[in-house]
Amino acid sequence: MLSLVAPREPFDESQECISARMKLKFSAEQNFPSRTMIQEQSDSYSVLIPGLPEDLAKICLALVPRSYFPVMGSVSKSWMAFIRSKEFIAVRKEVGKLEEWIYVLTAGVGGKGSRWEVLGSLDQKKRVLPPMPGPNKAGFGVVVLDGKLFVMAGYAADHGKEFVSDEVYLYDACLNRWTALARMNVARRDFACAEVNDMIYVAGGFGPNGNSLSSVEAYNLQQNKWTVIQSLRRPRWGCFACGVNDKLYIMGGRSSFTIGNSRSVDVYDPDRHSWEEIKRGCVMVTSHAVLDKRLFCIEWKNQRSLSTFSPTDNSWQRIPVPLTGSSSTRFCLGVLGMKILLFSLEEEPGYQTLMYDPAAPTGCEWQTSKLKPSGSCVCSVTIEA
């Protein structure tokens, strides 16, 4: 029998598997896969653990701590296929074993070079991801879907020549490796991107010739295909996007119909395949994050205030940020454990990462966290697996 040799606390695997199996709850409202789909999944996984029923074998694999996933993926093709599947994440969620890690892109000294670091949960050590494929880029987009990190487009200088990219790369957080995906229909940089209902959307930005774009594309991971959908009402660039309440919100940046920064919000409804506009938006946003269906933003002109947006009534609120370190500190937002983290955009020796807890009692919302990137923070994402 194959086994993973690694330090861990002793436990009775068979009893934990059986206990986890008993905890699985299947309701009549769930959409169960068809018999054909079950057969296809069974064929793709082959025999996961000889001598065990497939459902019990899946639970046993789902109970393994996340840090061992890359090792598990090298055991057999059937294990790798299961770990890469959407079902693996679903089973881990059912048995209460999902782990939340935060991934931070840090810039080297003088902005030279960059790397992704895994700060992990509050009690885990720092890890470094394999280098991103291709040349170093700027103006690219980052999205998380199905426990995977997508890095898209942007621009780079290759052999002294600048070019705008249409390349898309996927980082599999379970297998710790990068894969090239289908390219976009339109190369772009400085655009907005977000995930809504298992689809990735990119909108606006600048094209290869420096022209501002209004085009929008949607990516289907299962088909590995980009599709051009209805465009924005006007070209827009330097903007950002978020997915909340099954809709795509595009804010900030500039557009060809405004003087200065745009305060309008473009909202796309995937069910209706249509755009609408909200007048009250945020401008010149340097970082943003979504927590519990609320958007949190840091604006360039006011780094000492969190702007929060509620899509329920399209209202905005401001939350003062306490002073820590230098008064000129600029922030990059992250999310971990239902809390907002404020990483420093600069390498500041005395700075401690601020942490905001919206659910804490009044007066106790702000604390500090020991989580800190090794360099200046460019962006961050949170991946559950």
Distance, in Å, from the CA atom of 125 to the CA atom of 251, rounded to the nearest integer, reads 35
Q: Give percent of the chain with pLDDT exceeding 90.
A: 62
Give the whole-angstrom CA distance, residue 213 versus residue 187: 10
Provide the token pair at 214.
Answer: 């209004």
Q: Tokens 């994402």 correspond to what residue?
A: 381
Distance CA(119)–CA(93), nearest Å, equals 21
Count the Cβ atoms, other than its own, within 10 Å of residue 37.
10
| Coil vs helix vs strand at 12 | coil
Domains in the chain: ranges and CATH: 13-23+33-94 (no CATH), 99-131+287-385 (no CATH), 137-283 (2.120.10.80)
pLDDT tens, 273-318? 999 998 877 767 889 999 999 999 998 777 788 999 998 888 899 9
Phi-psi region of 323 (alpha: psi -120 to 50; beta: other; left: phi over 0): beta
Tens digits of residue pLDDT in 132-172: 998 889 999 999 999 999 999 999 877 677 899 999 999 99
Q: What is the pLDDT of residue 26?
A: 37
State whether residue 193 is helix, strand or coil: strand
Within 10 angstroms of residue 218's Cβ, the number of other Cβ atoms is 18
Q: What is the pLDDT of residues 64-116, one digit of tens each?
A: 999 899 999 999 999 999 999 999 999 999 999 999 999 999 986 555 578 99
| 273 vs 267: CA distance, rounded Å | 11
115 vs 113: CA distance, rounded Å = 7
CA–CA distance, 105 with 118 (Å, rounded to integer): 9
Instruction: Give the position of tokens 């931070």.
Output: 104
Global pTM value: 0.84
Task: Determine contact, residues 119/104, Cβ cutoff 8 Å.
Answer: yes
- Rounded to 5°, the CA angle 344-280-219 comes to 70
